[in-house]
Amino acid sequence: MVHLRLPPLPTIRDIIRLYGLRAERQLAQNFLLDLKLTDKIVRHAGNLEGAHVLEVGPGPGGITRSILNKGAANLVVVEKDQRFLPSLTMLCEAANERLKVIHGDIMKFNMEEEFPADLKTSWDDDPPNIHILGNLPFNVSTPLIIRWLEALSNHSGPFIYGRTRMLLTFQKEVAERLVAPVRDSQRSRLSIMAQHLCEVKHCFTIPGKAFVPKPDVDVGVVSFTPLADPLIDLPFKLVEKLVRSVFHFRRKYCRRGVESLFPLERQDLTDEIFQVTKIDPTQRPMLLTMEDFNLMCHAYYNICQRIPGMFDYNYR
């Protein structure tokens, strides 16, 4: 395969100056200008030679250039801020039709028809040659990963193509939560939700000073490879509700969170969960293993199947 590289281009700093692309602090925009660093980020996505890639929030296009230089066959970028469109269009011309620019909001964007249908693989196969990458504002990346994890568990959205891999950035503390193992003080709802569906890696940390303007925090680059067999094979919303309830009382015994799943007068159902699973109700949430969550979710699922309307009960 021919390795496609971009022709020489103005630097990202020049692009920002030429097109007057001042970062909007209220939109939490922080740019990466160093192409060695964007190359490093993109390397962690794996081999992109001939790949089909979707990048969210390209901004002035640093990561975009690195993806193209790594030989991606096609790259779709989705950018919400229209100020970036002229400079991205300039990049399109340099990229010989490999780049498509979409002005849109990734939270509303439908990916089900964005890639050629013949790239689809079955769930048990190796991941398709499709990758999602993005350095988004933190207030977007966390709700987005939750949304994508749900799509992943339903095999919808980008996952109708199979086990599509993702590489995204998060505030460093969120990255640590995503990968936190049992007993780690950062273990949280995000750890369980991500790890029961994906192999999650905190690839490396980018110091805040690498961005322009510098954010107040450091940034973690995290990769997600969907598991062929989820560790908790139950509907996403049910798993999310149990895990959220347990970690809502993270400093208390885990029994406290389970109690909140049921009306006060039905604490027999809380007893049932601990009897069926044989989990110690005085364990702290961060000490529960993935298998403990799996057992609890199944016990909760069985109760919800048996008692109509129980899943809709909401504490408070």
**Residue 287 touching ligand SAM (CB under 6 A):** no
Based on CB atoms, which residue is closest to ligand SAM, 56 or 288? 56
Based on CB atoms, which residue is closest to ligand SAM, 55 or 240? 55
CB 23 within 8 A of CB 29: yes
**Residue 107 touching ligand SAM (CB under 6 A):** yes
**Residue 58 touching ligand SAM (CB under 6 A):** yes
Helix (H) or strand (E) run with residue 219 in it: strand 219-226
Q: Min. distance of Cβ 146 from ligand SAM in angstroms?
A: 14
Among left, alpha and beta (phi > 0; psi -120 to 50; other), residue 294 is alpha
**Rounded Cα gap, residues 164 and 123, in angstroms:** 10
Based on CB atoms, which residue is closest to ligand SAM, 27 or 228? 27
**Residue 32 touching ligand SAM (CB under 6 A):** yes
Give the one residue of 79, 176, 259, 292 binding ligand SAM; rule: CB under 6 A. 79
Q: Is 268 exposed, middle or buried (0-12, 13-18, 19+ CB in 10 A)?
A: exposed
CA-nearest of 237, 43, 48 to 127 is: 48
Residues 136-195 that bind ligand SAM (CB under 6 A): 136-137, 140
**Residue 78 touching ligand SAM (CB under 6 A):** yes
Residues near ligand SAM, by CB under 6 A:
27, 29-32, 56-60, 62-63, 78-81, 84, 105-107, 135-137, 140
